[in-house]
Structure 1
């Protein structure tokens, strides 16, 4: 039962009962109900936006987001591998193909430049994982541009090559020892530890470790200028003059297959791996000379290996170790 309320009537000096109108009671009741409903709705919205209240749909979306993050992570790892291969192709393009034809190298500022002008990725902004998506999209765009530039460059090189068939045949362009006969890349071009004096000295070629008797191949067309053991340290060795300023040397042979004055084609067997002369074990010491200056043979293995194999060989050849001669 509701309490009865009174007020004091000062004129009549008496207490009188306060009468509440039904309309007012109804209004108060309605206001209370509206306020309660509003408060309940606010609480419900707050709960929906807290991690403590998760619907099945929220859980499904969370799993989808986690899967997308994983896929983006895998995609970025694959792009890392593609970047390595593209970098190797670009290196060979600048330092080999373009050098052959006296073409200027394409600078990195052109190959790896971004995209100027308006913001291409505005539509991807404003989401929880926007940065991940934007960064990955940028990498794909830059990689696509690099491949487009490289494709155009190789098209230009191909046109030049079609007019210079003899020149290309003369270039020492393959490994002198095939991969199936190769034990390891023992030492590369550069400063290495001498196996006899233990001092660091310039190693002017590459050492290919293989079994005695493994075939050695001419790396380009030319004629055999020398096939003897008169040069100090090289033991049995062959020198091929290819023309256009190129010359190759093959040292420590066990025996010869070619003789001085003989013309050879790229891929012809000219001798066999051995350990004659100043040598620590069976291997081929191989040098490339251009215009009477020694150059790194690694820049010339484009005729019989893939870009991925080139990356592996480059990593092995660039290790600081001891040479075999």
Structure 2
């Protein structure tokens, strides 16, 4: 850390170790809860370059952030994604480099990503029923994605996880199949409660189910909640003595969800977002054009943190200006 760099801390004393960096808004899936009509170009694809990403990550690592998650859209649609991984992994102070991916390119490139320094990988798999997977994503790709997931397990990643959005359709099918999925696979399956955005009000009303149903199932089937690491995301993870893997829950509508917030977000166009469900943001891109602007970048980030609120207002039906999760990577 630079001698004159203040740690990334907000006015509530919360310390930030974790950066979620979107590298594109483009996605090649058409998930019902996010982009049901598919991604459509609405302007120039002027996403952060590799050099801009290098300067951005250096600035955040100066402020004590040690974990970077690459998100999208679908981050791996970028042809220079492997270069991005290597650049982030080479940044002093960055100990963990993660990606959240839909798995489309996983089987083809996972070995290269690992060699470039990727240490953690999350694969979005909303159902392990092939037909339900196709209905949700718009693509008959489950077997391809699962092949990539199992390849990732053989590559020596520090952690391999699965993300599944908790939907009425999948919750009513139950969780026994997922328990069998992690019996012999050392993966964590994290169910993410469906969140309302400005574009999905009707879908949310029809498909949202409360996280309590999964909590009850876990409690009734011998699963026990474990501790969270200081740089972990918001998931509460449960383990079972008979299973190699674990099951997690991300419940943004639960009281106190934001109390331990430890993550910041930057959009694919270089804007610091203080909350996934906030408005606007702090533009950083003009300070990513020259290596000599590092001190100014650090100062702007620290100043921006004074505007971070205690928590989101999802319970009041307010989603900020977030249209869909592909905007910021969730």
For normalisation by structure 1, the TM-score amounts to 0.21
User: Which structure's residues are more often helix, by fraction?
Assistant: 1
Q: Which has the higher contact order (CA 8 A, sep 6+)?
A: 2
User: Which structure's residues are more often strand, by fraction?
Assistant: 1
Task: Work out which of the two has the higher radius of gyration on C-alpha atoms and give 1 or 2.
Answer: 1
For normalisation by structure 2, the TM-score amounts to 0.21
